[in-house]
Structure 1
Amino acid sequence: MNKSTTGLLIGSALVVGLSGCASSASQSSGQSQMSSGDRSWYQHPFVCGLAGSVIGGSIGYASSSSSDEDTGAAIGATAGATIGSMLCADSTPAPETPQCPGYAGEIPAGAAVDAEGCPLDSDNDGVPDFRDQCPGTPAGVEVNADGCPLDSDNDGVPDYRDQCPNTPAGVEVNSLGCPDSVVLQEVNFEFDSAQLTSEARNVLNGVAERLVNNPGVRVRIEGHTDSVGSNQYNMDLSQARAESVTSYLASRGVDANRMMAEGFGEEQPIATNDTEAGRAENRRVELDEWN
């Protein structure tokens, strides 16, 4: 048998063997997604490259003239090694990085996402925009699963705006969340003056915050006194106290144009003026909606 025939037979046999290795590697990869470290020894690119080198060299040798045997074998070996390595290279696709793991499979097509593929939460309330039924919630406001501010008493006025957060079920309320004017408990003054106490300022801080968050409503600040002293004196004192509250709320960010101060003196008592306890109840400041 001449060298040409011998070389071709050897090359053919090795081609069949190499193709089998590569096919086996590809099949195993597709079935089990194995990594290169889990392959059989004969499926390694180095082994396939070595086999390819022998195949290529054999074919190159067999197909060359007597004067070009060495050159043909060298070229064939190089080409075969390259092809063999490529055939057995790991073609297992790299596992895809989950798109924002916390929302896997939940982000609808077209939803706005950030650079990491996570849905935007424009108002930072913890509910992504594609779920948020109340976008634009003010910072720090507690929301439900739909992204809407909590309304604990279900009166239609969310807690962060509600001046009367514990209204009984079914009671109709105004835009302040109150069924009627509300007495500002603990809003008191220094004796015989319109100077707010420190405790009163603390209470008014919360009132102001809810009014700032409820910009569409106007309010009337009403001052009331007991019956001690002349009617005119009490009228002037109640007006001064109502204005003092209004000024303080304005200093906390409530637009002054949204407020009206009105003093009623001793004209609208809610308790008897014959006892100290009754007179204490009559000395009060009320908040009401101003239409």
Structure 2
Amino acid sequence: MTVTSTPPATGDQARPVVEPAPRARFRDLVFAEWIKMWSLRSTAWTIVIGTLAIIGFNAFTAYNDYTNWTGWRAEEKAAFLPNLAMLDAFTDAALLTLMLTASAMGALTVVGEYSTGLIRTTFAVVPARRSVMAAKVLVVTAVTTGLGLIAAGGSFWATQAILSARHTGLSLADPGVAASLLASALAAPVAALAGMAIGTVARASAATMGVSFSLLLLVPMAVSDDHYGTALVDHTLPYSAWARLVQVAEKPVDFPWSATGAWIVYAVWGVASAAVTILAVQRRDQ
């Protein structure tokens, strides 16, 4: 009987070959963040309730002007068009609601993961932190832009339908109307990105909500454009940029500024907030 001996496996032969895991593609990260956002019941409810509240504020204001129209003097009726008719389409209260809703949605995508510890798992699976946060920024921007477009478009349709009965309604073809609606819609992603940036830095719900509310809503009410110094501050705020952009007709002010300058304010806030969100997580412990 012949016995054949098998030589023992060497160390390299005994060790199983492990293929490196494929690097996550950016589109996969975007899809994952999209699923995360819509897996929260609060996302859909926030959009529905926020949109209804915004349209309701605007429709109520338009109906109030519709009701009181017959009692107005001729000069009051002349002053109503076109600026006041456009302001009925998207009131200050509606803008504040939209910005507060959007900033809360943006902040929640970051603060929610920090509070549950999910962010650690996310960064352990995908060490490319900047790519993860960039995917969050893209998803939040897309969702809140949709929110803004629905809120602004729905409000315009509802309010102008009410005002048209007095022959005071506007159409999209009227000068400045489309730009005003776009400014109202884009206030949502600007506020959402600001909320994300604050949430990335603060990492606490109460602090994030407090700073976001103060920066986006309270500070614009505390400063005015009556003096040069405060006008400079006022002209750097998203709320004030919106107020400038929804002017269908120019109004005399002490320190005027251009619509181009207001659009630049929107762009700077959006880009700077996105940069803070993406870059702030790179060297911070989770």
Which structure's CA Rg is the greater one? 1
- For normalisation by structure 1, the TM-score amounts to 0.24
- For normalisation by structure 2, the TM-score amounts to 0.24
Higher relative contact order (CA 8 A, sep 6+): 2
The structure with the largest strand share of the pair is 1
The structure with the largest helix share of the pair is 2
